[in-house]
Amino acid sequence: MITLRGLTKRYGDKTAVRDLTLDIAPGRVTGFLGPNGAGKSTTMRMILGLDRPSAGEALVGGRPYGRLRHPLREVGALLDAKAVHPGRSARRHLLAMARSNGIAAGRVEEVLATVGLQAVAGKRAGSFSLGMGQRLGIAGALLGDPAVVMFDEPVNGLDPDGVLWVRRLMRSLAAEGRTVFVSSHLMSEMQLTADQLVVIGKGRLIADAPVAEVIAGSSRNAVRVRSPRSRELVARLEAEGAEVRRAGEDALMVAGLPMERVGLIAYQGGAPLLELSAVAASLEEAYMELTGASVEYAAPLPGAGTGAR
């Protein structure tokens, strides 16, 4: 369990993280989403005691990081894959970490196997690709078999195999009952990986909810209908308050009414149905609606007219 209470960080007159209060629970993957500059890394650094909060507190298992006796055994983290001595081999890097935290040396071979770095464990970490560096960072995070793990943008720079591997690893760590807190700005990836989402923008909490709930809240959820009498159907649906968009010859996309209601309205109007299906919004769409007002450096979308957001 990670607990944030009024967590705030100011840099001069800039507030990077503002009054975050939430619990990050064990047994599930919590995705930490927000545009660049939203305050994700700052929040994670405060949880790890690398940055001192301006106000409030961050607790791991009920205690501030500085009060943990064997930190690596309680919380493992990958914040920066480059934070490794380049001249040290992967194995020696992990052995040094293990020694300083009273972790048995045998554990090093176990985590090297978990992340698939055994074959290159004797090579200098400085020669590693970004993906190998990420794996080494993850090995370090797992070294102490901690109940809480945190990863800051772990799939950045990984190839598709690596992305899939990280996703499975997060899922399995959560299935083991651990608290898994992982930041990303990649919505599609979080939709596949996370159970719970914490969304921040400009340092403020925007949402803390199950992924399914965030998606359900989007106005982009719709019902697709096909009928040879779609023209008449449009009028009937709009009269019931639906927002209707034409999606082809005889097809409509209907927002704002449940599918059952759309079917019933078609039946009552005598419109034969060729198709009636739910089209779920993507997390990306739901997210854009949530954060539209909090993007730090907004640029117009390519293809959108001037002034369009």
Binding site for ligand ADP (CB under 6 A): 11, 14, 16, 34, 36-42
Any idea of the CA torsion for 120, 121, 125, 129, to the nearest 10 degrees?
A: 30
Minimal distance, residue 226 CB to Mg ion, in Å: 45
Minimal distance, residue 203 CB to ligand ADP, in Å: 7
Closest residue by beta carbon to Mg ion: 41
What is d(CA 207, CA 194) in angstroms, rounded to the nearest whole number?
Answer: 14
69 interface partner picked from ligand ADP, Mg ion, none, CB below 5 to 8 A per type: none
41, 184, 196, 227: residue in contact with Mg ion (rule CB under 5 A)? 41
38 interface partner picked from Mg ion, ligand ADP, none, CB below 5 to 8 A per type: ligand ADP
Alpha-helical segments (H) within the chain: 40-47, 71-74, 90-100, 106-115, 130-142, 160-175, 187-193, 211-216, 230-239, 259-268, 283-291
Minimal distance, residue 31 CB to ligand ADP, in Å: 13
Asked whether 191 and 29 are in contact (CB, 8 A), the reply is: no
**Which lies closer to ligand ADP via its Cβ, residue 52 or residue 69?**
52
Asked whether 58 and 65 are in contact (CB, 8 A), the reply is: yes
Under the binding rule (CB under 5 A), the answer on residue 3 touching Mg ion is: no
Exposed, middle or buried, 276 (CB in 10 Å: 0-12/13-18/19+)?
middle
93 interface partner picked from Mg ion, ligand ADP, none, CB below 5 to 8 A per type: none
**Which lies closer to Mg ion via its Cβ, residue 15 or residue 89?**
15
Selection from 91, 96, 98, 102 nearest residue 69 by Cα: 102
What is d(CA 240, CA 257) in angstroms, rounded to the nearest whole number?
Answer: 8
**Which lies closer to ligand ADP via its Cβ, residue 39 or residue 162?**
39
42 interface partner picked from Mg ion, ligand ADP, none, CB below 5 to 8 A per type: ligand ADP
Minimal distance, residue 80 CB to Mg ion, in Å: 10
Asked whether 144 and 61 are in contact (CB, 8 A), the reply is: no
Footprint of Mg ion (CB under 5 A)? 40-41
